[in-house]
Structure formats: C-alpha cells, structure tokens
Structure 1
Amino acid sequence: MTGRSAPAVLPPSLRRRLGLLAALAALVVVLLGVLYADDSKPGRVDARIGAVVDGVGPPWRHVALALDFLGEPGGSVPLVVAVVVGCLLLRRPRAAVLVVAGVGMSVGTATLLKSLVGRTIHDGNLSYPSGHTAFLTALALVVALPATGRLGLGSTAGMSLVLAVALFAGAAMGWAQVALGAHYPTDVLGGWCTALAVVPATAWLVDRTADRLVERKAGAGRPEPR
C-alpha cells in the first residue's frame, strides 16, 4: 500500500471547470462586497425579493427555522461530525479532511468578509455575506465532489451534479434566511458564491498536500543506492 494515493477529492475531469467557476464566484463576492460596503439598507433587488419572501407564516416558517438551526453551532457541528464519521467509515480519510477544511474555510472566509464589508441589517448586525448559506453550500459541495469521483462521472454529468447539489443547498438556506429577515437576498448570493469560490480551492489544496505526503513516504521507504 505504500506509495498508493487515496482517491482525489477534486475529480480531475472537473478541475478546469470548477477553477473557472471558483474565479467567477470570487469576482461576484468582491463586486457585491464593494457595492454594499458599509450599507445598512436593502438594494432594489433585495427589496423586490424580500417583499415576496420575507415574513412567511406556518408551516413554512417552521421549515425556515429548522434550516436556520442547521447553520447554528448546535446544528452545524453535529452535522459536520456525522459527515466526517461517514467518510471515515467509507475509508475516505481525504474526504473527511475536506469536510472539515472546506466547511471551516468557507465559514471563516464569510466571517472575515463580514467585518471587511461592514454591511448591516437589524440594529447593526453584520450581514454580508450570509455565513449560514456559505455553510450549507460548502457542506453540500464537500459531499458532492468526492461522490462525483467515486461514481466515475464524466465532466458534464459530474459538473451538473455538483452544481445541482450546491444550488439546492444554497437556495434552501438562502430562502430561510430571507424569509426570517436575517439577511438580504444579495447577502445570500454572496454566501453561496463564497462557498463556490473556497471549496474547490480547498479541495485542490487537500489533494496536493496529501499527494506530496504520499510521495515523501514512498521516497523514505526506498533503499538508498549503494
């Protein structure tokens, strides 16, 4: 087994497309951040969408609250632990590392951007980008990427799966945040794009680091030439 590398968490067939997607997502995050820096009011698009979605009643409000709880420490930590345990049970330690690193980096980046952008909602609460949306989108991505490689999907099918999963997770949490009045719609878009920018880069870094460790271990195990 020495020298054998574990399956990549960033499928080679998707690297170019995901790299382009991550760059575009990062650009959107920056542009929205500049546009709404130090702002405390909804934009025109925010107002239109918020008027339709904000203030939902039962039973959809209960659904929104349940989704919101998944982004809180009490809900997010057990969820991440469960996914990590699942990866380890499937003997995918590299995927387990990606779960922790990808989600952690996405949420950490969103938290840092909130302080840098300074956009606020409801009594000065920092709002851009949405950390809840970044969390659930990142979690969906760190599950979808290794699954794509494990299923052996081609570039088109694999990219479709990854985007569909990310869109579903981001839309669900984004709807909950806007419905509860916790974020503006553009905050949600920023959180979604934050995860799309961070997770592929983190997956590439995990693969590169793991491959180098395997190469070093293989080199250390070879007999020295006489």
Structure 2
Amino acid sequence: MDRRGVVNFVRSEYALLALLVLIVGGAWGFMELADEVLEGETHRLDEVVLLAMRNPADLSDPLGPGWVEEVGRDVTALGGLAIVGFISIVAVGHMMLRGRHRGALYVALTVGGGILVSTLLKSGFDRPRPDLVPHGATVYTASFPSGHSMMSAVVYLTLGVLLARLDSRPALRIYVLGVAIFLTIAVGISRIYLGVHWPTDVLAGWTAGATWALLCWAGADILQRRGRLEAAEKP
C-alpha cells in the first residue's frame, strides 16, 4: 500500500470511529430525553413552544393564514407510513434496476427495521397526546416519540446516507443529504404546528431516527469494505 493509500485508510478509520461515537451519543441523548419526559421535567417547555405557534386570542387557530395550516397538513403527510413506505419501495426498485441488488436489500432491511423500532418505542412509552390545543390532524397512537418525525428521519436520512454512499460525486452527496435533512426537519415542525405532538416528542423522534440512520451508514461502510455491498459509482 502506497502513502496515499495509507492516508485514505487512516481517514476512513477515523470517519468510522466518528460515526460510532455519534451513534453512541445519539442513543444516550434519546435515553436522557426520555428520562426527562417521564419525570415531567420538560412539560413547561413543551407548553411554551406549543402555545407559541398559536394565536393567543384563539388557541384553536395556528399562527398564519389558513393556507399555512393547509401546507402544514401536506408536509406532515410526508412522514406518514403510506408515503414513506411508497418512497422506500420506489428507492429499492430504482436500485434494483441499476443492478445494485445487495444495496437494495440493505435499504429494504434498514428502513423496515427502523419503522419497526419506531413502532415499538411509541408503544413502550405510551405518552398521551397534547391536550392544550385542538389537533389539526387525525391521530390514533401515543405521542412519544413522534412517529412521523422518527419515520421521516429513518426513511429520508437512511435513504440519503445510503444513496450518497453509492455515488462518489461530492455535489450529489451533499444534495441528497441536504434534501433528506430538510424533509425530516419540515415534517417534525409540522407536527408541532398542528398541535398533535409535544416538541420533545419531535426532538426524540429526530434523535432516534438520526441515530438509526447513522447506524445504517456505519453498517454500509463496513459492508462495502468487506465487499458485501456495492461500492460507490465513479463519476
């Protein structure tokens, strides 16, 4: 191995180590936040942020004109199970058509596993939905963590990091990851705006979903090194 190869190897090892540190930090952050929520330490902050998005004279009226609330409903649908499931199927199909069969299987397993984790966490904590304001969307499940926020992070961030790893062009990588982050943040904010989640529900969903995406990123890196996952395409 020449000097350049050694430098690239060391850099990749440090990058993987940094990913693992972020994964551990994300898991720790989620557990700390969950503990604070269970003890009721975040309730006052949740109320302040939630009410800040409402008309003080009429708590049933979110801030802004009527079309903003309609946009909020459209955006929040991007984190729904039907939409994220459809997008995942399209992404897997795209990878299959490009001949990246192992990558397609990995995406299907990681996205499906993330959705399963989200469902189990929500059932385990069973936190009631906000009752300060009328809900701007129909809800059926518990509140913590926000399923829409976590599933959007799981699907969009996981797809973003995995698709970015399959292409060596920096501009395309940045674009894919940027879109994934933007969609994840937008979905979470829409859940608070519509009054169906406490802010800490959304924060927990983002934290858990981002941690899962980083875990998938690290897994893809390890599998690519071992030749069990397709390498990035050259520009």
Partner Cα distance (1:189, 1:71) in 2? 14
Match of 2:67 in 1: 59
Preserved contact between residue 38 and residue 118 of structure 1 (Cα < 8 Å): no
Report the alpha carbon displacement of residue 183 of structure 1 after superposing the two structures with TM: 0.8
TM-score by length of structure 1 reads: 0.72
> 1:172 aligned to 2:173?
no
Measure, in 2, the Cα distance between the counterparts of 1:163 and 1:28.
Answer: 22
**Is the CA contact (8 Å cut-off) linking 1:144 and 1:161 kept in structure 2?**
no
Paired residues, number: 201
| 1:30 positional shift | 0.5
Alpha carbons of structure 1 residues 168 and 195: separation in structure 2 relative to 1, 3 Å = same
User: Could you tell me which amino acid in structure 1 is paired with residue 45 of structure 2?
Assistant: V
The AA in structure 2 aligned to 1:29 is F
The structure-2 alpha-carbon separation of the partners of 1:195 and 1:12, relative to structure 1 and needing over 3 Å to count, comes to farther
The aligned residue for residue 115 of structure 1 is: 123
The answer to whether 1:184 aligns with 2:198 is yes
1:25 aligns with 2:33: no
SS of residue matched to 2:144: coil
CA deviation after TM superposition for structure 1 residue 116, in Å: 2.5
CA contact (8 A) 1:87 1:95 kept: yes
Give structure 1 stretches of 5+ with no counterpart. 1-10, 215-226
Match of 1:102 in 2: 110
Q: 2:152 aligns with which of 115, 118, 136?
A: 136
SS at 1:151 equivalent: coil
Unmatched 5+ residue regions in structure 2?
Answer: 1-11, 55-61, 132-139, 229-235
Partner of 2:233: none
Aligned to 1:45: 45
Q: Is the Cα–Cα contact under 8 Å of residues 135 and 195 in structure 1 kept in the other structure?
A: yes
Q: Secondary structure at the match of 1:71?
A: coil
2:196 matched to 1:195?
no
- What's the CA shift for 1:151? 2.4
Give the RMSD, CA atoms, in angstroms. Answer: 3.4
Cα gap change, 1:146 to 1:107, in 2 (>3 Å): closer
- Taking the aligned partners of 2:114 and 2:45, their CA distance within structure 1 comes to 25
Whether the aligned pair in 2 keeps the contact of 1:130 and 1:188 (CA below 8 Å) is yes
1: CA distance, partners of 2:144 / 2:151: 14
Question: Is the alpha carbon distance of 1:49 and 1:94 closer, same or farther for their aligned partners in structure 2, counting shifts above 3 Å?
Answer: farther
Q: Is contact 2:46–2:198 with CA below 8 Å preserved after alignment?
A: yes
Structure-2 change in CA distance of 1:148 and 1:206 (3 Å): closer
C-alpha contact (below 8 Å) 2:157/2:184 kept by paired residues:
no
Paired residue for 1:151? 168
The yes-or-no answer on 1:126 pairing with 2:138 is: no
Letter in 2 for 1:68: T
Which AA in structure 2 matches 1:18?
L
TM-aligned CA distance change 1:114 to 1:192, over 3 Å: same
CA distance in 2, matches of 1:82, 1:166: 15
The Cα shift of 1:184 comes to 0.8
Q: CA contact under 8 A between 1:137 and 1:192: conserved in structure 2?
A: yes
Q: Work out the CA distance in 2 between the residues paired with 1:162 and 1:190.
A: 23
